[in-house]
Copies of this chain bind each other. A is one copy, B any other.
Amino acid sequence: MKDLKYYIDRVGQIFEEECFIADPAELYAPIDYTLRLGGKRIRPTLLLVANAMFGGDIDAVRHAALGIETFHNFTLLHDDLMDRSPVRRGQPTVYVKWDENTAILSGDTMFALAWRYFLRQPTPHLQAILNTFNETAIEVCEGQQYDMNFERRDDVTIEQYMMMIRKKTAVLLAGALNIGALYAGAPTSEVEKLYRYGIHTGLAFQLQDDLLDGYGDTAVFGKKTGQDIRDNKKTYLPLRAAQMCDETQRRQLAALFSSHDIDEEEKVQQVMNLYDAVGLKCEVERAIATEFDAAHRALDSIGVADEAKEPLREMLAQLDGRKK
Give residues in A with beta carbon < 8 Å to B.
23-24, 26-27, 78, 81-82, 101, 104-105, 107-109, 111-113, 115-116, 119, 126-127, 130-131, 134-135, 137-138, 141-142, 144-146, 148-149
Contacts and interface: CB of A to CB of B under 8 A. Distances in A.
A115 B134 contact: yes
Given A126-B126, A142-B27, A145-B24, A116 B104 contact: no
9 closest residue pairs by CB, A with B: A27-B145, A109-B141, A82-B101, A112-B137, A115-B134, A112-B138, A24-B145, A108-B141, A78-B104
B101 A115 contact: no
Contacts of A142: 23-24, 27, 109
16 contacts: A26-B148, A26-B149, A78-B104, A81-B104, A82-B104, A82-B105, A105-B145, A105-B148, A111-B112, A112-B141, A113-B138, A115-B115, A115-B130, A119-B130, A126-B127, A130-B130
A312 to B, nearest CB: 28
Contacts of A146: 24
A141 B105 contact: yes
A27 B138 CA distance: 11
Contacts of A131: 119
Interface centre among A82, A111, A116, A145 (most CB of B within 10 A): A145
Interface centre among A127, A131, A141 (most CB of B within 10 A): A141
A185 B130 CA distance: 22
Contacts of A82: 101, 104-105
A28 to B, nearest CB: 9
A144 B105 CA distance: 8
A247 to B, nearest CB: 31
Contacts of A104: 78, 81-82, 104
A131 B81 CA distance: 29
Nearest to A146: B24
A314 to B, nearest CB: 32
Given A26-B145, A78-B108, A107-B108, 11 more contacts: A24-B146, A27-B141, A78-B105, A82-B105, A105-B141, A108-B141, A109-B141, A111-B112, A115-B137, A126-B126, A130-B130
Contacts of A135: 116
Contacts of A115: 115, 130, 134, 137
